[in-house]
Amino acid sequence: TLDNEASIAHVGLDYTTTVETLRMEAGGDDGTAQGKVKRIHGVTIRFVDTTGAKIGPNLDNLDPIPFRDSTMSMDRPIPFFDGDKEMAFPAGYENDAKVVVQSESGLPMQVTAIIRRSNTFDA
């Protein structure tokens, strides 16, 4: 039962959705990139019907992805977003370069593509 009377009520459960890519395999000059130092410096994420998400190299380092801009009314919900979001990626140099995308509080998120821009170092 509800604490207060309501003519319209939106009810749901909080949940967290997490998408984590496999280790990056971009290839190196002499074969596989596995075990080599890599850096992801940019990411494009393709979303469908999404209103909130964060991105980062791991669960401890996630940055919010902006879905609201200055032209949108602040007293209205964020509309569903369909399309690509391009952004710089907050990661350093590592052997196991991954991309983590997360949505919290039950906000809808559909990821149809993660396109990364990266370097593999063959030293």
Residue 51 is assigned to a structural domain of this protein:
yes
Rg, Å, the chain Cα set: 18
Estimate the share of the chain in helix, then strand, then coil, as percent rounded to the nearest 5: 0, 45, 55
Confidence of residue 123 (pLDDT cuts 50, 70, 90): low
- Specify the pTM: 0.82
What residues make up the domain containing 112?
A: 32-121
pLDDT number for residue 90: 85
Q: Considering its fold, how many domains does the chain have in total?
A: 1
Smallest Cα–Cα separation from 83: which of 42, 45, 43? 45
pLDDT tens for each residue of 19-44: 999 988 877 778 888 888 889 999 99
Residue 24 is assigned to a structural domain of this protein:
no
Residue 42 is assigned to a structural domain of this protein:
yes
